[in-house]
Amino acid sequence: MKKLRLSKRLQAIVNQIQCRVLADIGTDHGITPVVACEQGRAEFGIACDISHASLKKAENYIRERNLDHRIETRLGSGFETISQGEADMAVISGMGGMLIRDIIRENLDVAKSMSRIILGPQRDLPTLRQSLNEVGFAIEDEEMLIEDGVFYNILICEPGTPTAMTPEGRMFGQALIDKSDPTLGLFLIELIEKNKRICSKAKNEKLEVEIYIAEHVIKQKSYSR
């Protein structure tokens, strides 16, 4: 069978999976559980989606890869189709951070019954980080990568007692800051330049705060500008 060619972002997510049963929330085409099973990172998968059309695509793809005995599909929103303790890891990726926040909050007992959840938010990362902290998820690690000129973050979260969140940790990711992630340095430099261009045309207090905190992190970690 032809080997799948994965995006950098998807492979980075799959690299964090090691479990018996993986729940993929918002599975779309079902690629994540297929890859996880084919690479031996999950024994079984549950592919969940709110869209009938997406789930049909996932069913066809799972059958095409001869994995219909290991991956089942379920129609529904978020974790509502998953029983507490049924899956030991979950992936939620390709959505906005506020939607991911709502999915976790709406079925918090199910989410916290898992050993790890891997998140790939498209936006609203500060809001998501703050929410995870409030509901009792620790961000154990965070990755940042660039693909096709776009920055992506991957949050590796586990239920537990999170540490107090600093303004810079909330905004840019404490794990990235702590390990002086070089991609974070590139992101901060681009962010400052972009925000300064906008602020030169019209006052924007939110962007000015971002500039101030980003410059603090650059100085703290000695990122080159």
CA dist 14 and 164 (Å) reads 29
Q: Which pLDDT belongs to residue 60? A: 95
CA dist 7 and 147 (Å) reads 8
Kind of pairing between the strands at 150-159 and 137-147: antiparallel
DSSP 95: E
> Which CATH number does 8-161 carry?
3.40.50.150
Q: Which pLDDT belongs to residue 145? A: 97
Q: Which pLDDT belongs to residue 225? A: 67
Contact status, residue 123 vs residue 96, Cβ threshold 8 Å:
yes
Contact status, residue 62 vs residue 47, Cβ threshold 8 Å:
yes
Contact status, residue 153 vs residue 195, Cβ threshold 8 Å:
no
Those residues with Cβ within 8 angstroms of residue 34's Cβ, 6 or more apart along the chain or in another chain = 4, 45, 61, 62, 65, 67, 71
* Mean pLDDT (10-residue bins), the chain, 225 residues: 80 96 95 95 97 94 95 95 95 96 96 97 96 96 96 97 92 97 96 95 93 95 79
Q: Which pLDDT belongs to residue 161? A: 87
**Domain ranges in the chain?**
8-161, 166-225
pTM, 2 dp: 0.94
Single-letter residue type at 194: K
